[in-house]
Amino acid sequence: MILKTQNITLNLYEVGLKLYADFMFKLFSRSLNILNFLQNLLYGLASIFLIICFSGTHAEAGELSEEDVAFFYKVENDTAKSRKAVRTLSKTIRQLNATSKNETLEKYAAALYAFSDSILFRGDRELQQVRKDMSDPDIVEQIVDLNNALVSDDEFEWDNVDVEVFDELDNILLEFSNSENYVSPEEIYNTLDLLKTEGAESIASVEDPIDDPVEYTADSSDFVMRTQTMYLKGNAEVEFGEQKLNSGSIEMNFVTHIVKAQGIKDSTGHVVEKPVFVDGQSTFNANQMIYNYETGKGLIKGIVTEESDGIITSQLVKKTAGEEMYMSDNVYTTCRLEHPHFGFKTQKLKVVPEKNIVSGPFLVELNESPLPLGFFFGIFPATTNNTSGFIMPTYGESTDRGFYLRDGGVFLALTDYFNLQVLGSAYTLGGWGVRTQSQYRKRYAFSGSFGFDYINNLFQENDGSVSTQTDYSIRWTHSQESKKNSRFSANVNIANSDYNRNNSQNPNDYLQSSMNSSVSYSNSFAVGNVNFSTTAQTRYQQNVQTGEATLAPEASLNMARARPFKTLFKKSNPISEIGITYNMSARGEMTNKLGTNKLPFDVVGADNTDDDGLGEDGKYPDLLANLGDYSDQFRWGVTHDIPVSTQMKVLKYFTLSPSFSYKEYWHPVSYDYTYLESENAVLVDTTNELTRYSEYRTSVGFNTNMFMFYNMKGGSIIRHTIQPSISYNFNPDFGDPTFDYYQWVQTNESNTNGTKVFRSQGGLVGAPNGARSQALSFSINNILELKSGRKGEDGKAKKTMILNNLNMSSGYDFERDSLNWSDINAGFRTTLLKKVDVSVNSRWDPYRYIAQDTQYDEELGKEVVTSQYKSKFLLAETNGGLAQLSNLTVAVGTRLQPKGSKEKKEKKLDEMEPRNEMERQMLDEMRRNPDLYMDFDIPWSLSLNYSLNYSKLGLAEPTVTQTLTFSGDLSLTPKWKVAFRSGYDFKLGSFSYTSLDLTRDLHCWQLTANWIPFGPRQSYNITIAVKAAMLQDLKWEKRNSWIDRNDRFQ
C-alpha cells in the first residue's frame, strides 16, 4: 500500500518548472495586448512562487518520512475494524446487485470500498476525521448488523435494522464520492428495502446491460489486433467485475472472452507466479487455467482451494456457469501444510460452495500414503452456517448395564435462530435414554438454551438381580439483551438426586453438592418523580447428597428513596433530607423435609415424632415428582417495610443519621394454645384467615471519617483512614399482652412457668420482636494506602493499597438482665506483594463458661467437657482476659503466571471472530471464563488457595479444618502442555479430588488425555481427534470411565 502511495505523490518542483516554461512561451508568442500581458505576467509569477515554495522541500517520488509512516500505521490500526466492516458491507451490496446491476447500489458500494481501501497520512485532516468518526464501536456494530440483515433471509431482521446507520454512512459518501455519484441515505434505504421485499428484479436497470469493464495491468503487454488478443507477462492482473486473476502469463481474447493463465519460469527454471483466481469469497491457486469471463465456465489444472474448514487439491477442475465445480484426482483435508498429514483421496468430487462437498469412493491417506480405510462415498459439510446432520454414537460396554450405543442422534438447524439436538442411548440389558438440547437467539432481544434428559436405567446387581432407576434432568438458561425497563431471565438446573451419579461423565459434577435454579421477571417504572421496581421470582434449591429440596416463589415491590420536602428548601437541612422508602415482599415455600413448620412442643392429635420424611436410603423423596404429597407443607407470608430516615452534619465533621421504621407481617393463619394436662400436650385451635402483626423501631447513627498521614523517605505518604461508627437502636416489647401477638403457654407438666409462643408460630416471614430492646453497637474500620513519591508514565503518583480494611465491632444491650455484651468481631483483608490475597475473620466471646460434666476421651488421652453453660460473668472480671476466641477463619489465595499473561489471553479472545452460532457461544463462554481457554503461548500458571477454620465453644475441644487446593498448567514444549488440579486435607491427611490433563498440539490433530488417579471417580480418557469441527467424529478414543463400572455407588 505504501508503494502505491509513492507512485501518486506529486513532484511539485517539476510542476513549477512546467508552469514557468509555459509562461515564457505565451509571453513572446502572443501579441502585446495589455490584458493578455498582465494575465501572462500573473501566470508566470505564480509559477515562480511555486518553484520558490517547493524547491527547498523537493523529494524524490517514493520518499516518506518516518513520522508519516508511523502516523500511517496508527491510523490503520485505530480504524481497522470499521474499515473491515465497511469493506464487508460493500462486498455484500455488490453480490446482491450481481443480477440487477442497479446503478444506485453500484455507486454506493464503490464509495464504501474507496473508504475501506483508502490510505491516509497526516495532511488528510477531513478524511482522518471521517475515519475517526466511523471507528466508534456503536457505529461499527450498526454496520455489522446491517450487513447481517442484508444476507439474512429473515424479513424480521431487515425490519429491525436501525435506519440511522445510513446517516452515519453518509459521511463516507460525502467524502469518497463526487456529486455525480453521490447517493443520499433515503435513496439507498429505499433501494435496499425494495430489493429485500420485492426481489432483485424490482431494482433491475431498464437500460441495456453493459458488461463490466475488463481492467488489466502487467510488467509488459502485447496486443494483436488481428485476433483481438492481449498477451500479458510478469505480475499480470486482470479484473472483470467481482473476479480477479493474477498470474505470470495471461492471454486474453476480447472476441471469445476466454482468458488463459499459467506461471512463468524464473532464472533457475522453477515455475513462479502461478495463477491465483478470486471469485467472490472463493480463492483458487492453480498451475494453469482457461476461463470464459462472460459465461463463467472454465477449466483449471493443479488447483488448491479452500471450502469452509477444508482444503481441496485437485489435478483437473471443470467450473460450471453456476456455483458448482466438478473435480478429478483429488485430496480433501483440513491440514494446511503443503504436504498434509492426512487426507481423503478420491477420483471424483463435486463442490457446491457454502453447501457441501460430495465425493465418490475414497481412501484415507496418512502422510500422503493410502491406508486400507475408506468408503463408497462421502459427504462433507462446506458451510460456516449451522446445518442439520447426524451425530455418531459412542459404543462400549458397561459392567452393570451391558453393551451400549450412547449419545447418537441428529442435529436440526431449524432456523437461523433456533436449533434442536436429539440424542438417544440404548443398553443390551434394556436400559435406554433420550437427551434433548436446543439453543435459540434473537439479535438484540434474547438468547438461551433448553435441555431435557429422561433416562431409564436397568442395573445388574452383584447378586444377579436387576434394579430400575429413572433419572431426569431439566436445564434452561435465558438472558434478555434488550435495554428496556423490563427483564426476564432464567437459570434452571434441576435433576433428581441420583442423576449425576448414574449418568454424568463430567468429573466436575462429582464435586457438586447442590443445584440452584431461578426464573425471574423484573420491571421498573415511575409514578411522577418516584421510581418503583417490581420483581417476580421462583427459586428451586436442592441438595444433591440428601435430596432435600425447596421450591420458593417470591414477589416484591420496591419504592426508591423519595425526599418529599426537598423542594420546600433551597439549602440542604435535616428536614429536606428526610427520605422515605417502601418495600413489600410476598414469599411462599414448599419443601420435602417435613417438620419445618412444626410447633416447638407436643400437639394434641398431631404426629409428635421427630420423623422429617427421610427415606430408608438416606435421601428425601423427589419434591417435583411428588409435588401433590407436599402441598400441605406450603407456607406463605407478606411483609411491608416503610423506613424513614434523614441525616445532618454535627460539629462540622460528624454525621448524625436518625431513622424510624414501621413494618407489618401478614400470616395466613393464627393459633390459640390450650395446655391439656391429661394429654401432657397443647391443644391448638387454628384460625385460617389473614392475620396482621405490626412493629416499629427507631435508631440513630453517629459516624465520621478521620485521616492521618505518615511521611516516608523519598516523598512517599501513607494515608490512614479511620472510620468509627456508633448506633443506638430501640424497639418496644411487642410480646406484651396488650398487643396479643404472643401467648404464654404451658407446654408440658414440668414447664409450669410457661413459654411465650407467637400466635402464628412456624410462619414463613417472621414475627415482631417479643422483647423490649435498646442496644448500643459500635465499630471501627481502618484503611491504609501508600502514595508513592515517584510519578508514573502518566504523570500521576502511583497508589498502593496496604490494608483494604481492619475492622472490629461489638455491642451492648441495656434491656437484658445478663449477658449484655455481644460477641466481638474482628478481621482484616489485604493483598501482599500484589499477588497474595489474605482474609482473616474472627469472633470472640467475652463471657466465662462453666463446666457441668466431663468425660475421658481415649483418642485425646484426657478429660473433655461434655456439658457446659455460659455464665453471666465476664472473663475480664475473673482474670481470664478480655475475651476468648470462639471462631477463626483464614483464607489465603494467589494465582501466579508470567507478567502480561492475563492481558495476552484476553487480547487473543477478543481478536477471535466466530464463524457460526456454535463458535459464538463457545467464545462467549471462554470470554466469561478465560481459564477454560488453554493457551500454549503462556508457559505456566499456578493457583494456590489455603483455608483454615477454627471453632471452639467455651470449654469444649476445638474443631479445626485445614485444606489446601492447587491447580495450574505447564507448557513442557511449545506443543506439549500438562494441567493439574488437586487438594490436601490436613485433618484427614489425604489428597482430595485430583485430576491430570495432558494436551499435545499435533498441528491439524490434537491429543488429549485425562487421568483421575484415585477416588470414587478414578478413570482415564485418551483421545486423538481432528481439530476441525466439521470432522469432529474422525477420532480415536480409549477410555475407562467410572460410569461404566459397578463401583460408581461407592
How does pLDDT run across 892-950, given as a tens digit for each residue? 999 988 886 666 666 666 666 665 555 666 666 666 666 555 666 778 889 999 999 99
Q: Cα–Cα distances in Å, from 363 out to 325, 345, 482?
A: 21, 5, 51
Cβ pair 1007, 1024 in contact under 8 A = yes
Q: Whole-angstrom Cα distance, residue 785 to residue 709? A: 10
C-alpha cell at 443: 439479535
pLDDT on residue 390: 86
Please name which of 281, 279, 321, 278 lies closest in space to residue 298, comparing C-alpha atoms: 321
pLDDT on residue 682: 94
One-letter amino acid at 574 equals P
C-alpha cell at 572: 440542604
pLDDT on residue 161: 83
Q: Whole-angstrom Cα distance, residue 497 to residue 130? A: 61
pLDDT on residue 64: 39
Q: How far is CA 785 from the centre of its chain?
A: 33
* DSSP helix/strand/coil, 999: strand
pLDDT on residue 46: 42
Say what the pTM is.
0.68
Task: Report the interhelical angle of 164-176 vs 125-134 (nearest 10°).
Answer: 160
pLDDT on residue 520: 95
* DSSP helix/strand/coil, 922: helix
pLDDT on residue 944: 95
* DSSP helix/strand/coil, 942: strand
Q: Whole-angstrom Cα distance, residue 780 to residue 702? A: 12
Cβ pair 717, 710 in contact under 8 A = yes
Residue where the block lists cell 495450574: 968
Q: Whole-angstrom Cα distance, residue 505 to residue 509? A: 8
Please name which of 850, 696, 852, 720 lies closest in space to residue 786, comparing C-alpha atoms: 720
pLDDT on residue 329: 93
pLDDT on residue 54: 35
* DSSP helix/strand/coil, 869: strand
C-alpha cell at 454: 429422561
One-letter amino acid at 52 equals I
One-letter amino acid at 1014 equals F
Q: How many CB atoms lie within 10 A of CB 673?
A: 21
Element (H, E) at 774: strand 773-791
Q: Is the dihedral of CA 162, 166, 172, 174 positive or negative?
A: negative
Q: DSSP 3-state helix, strand, coil percentages of the chain (rounded to 5)?
A: 20, 45, 35
pLDDT on residue 207: 44
Low-confidence residues of the chain: pLDDT under 50: 1-21, 23-76, 121-123, 206-210
pLDDT on residue 926: 64
pLDDT on residue 201: 75
Q: Whole-angstrom Cα distance, residue 88 to residue 106? A: 14
One-letter amino acid at 1022 equals I
Element (H, E) at 38: helix 34-55
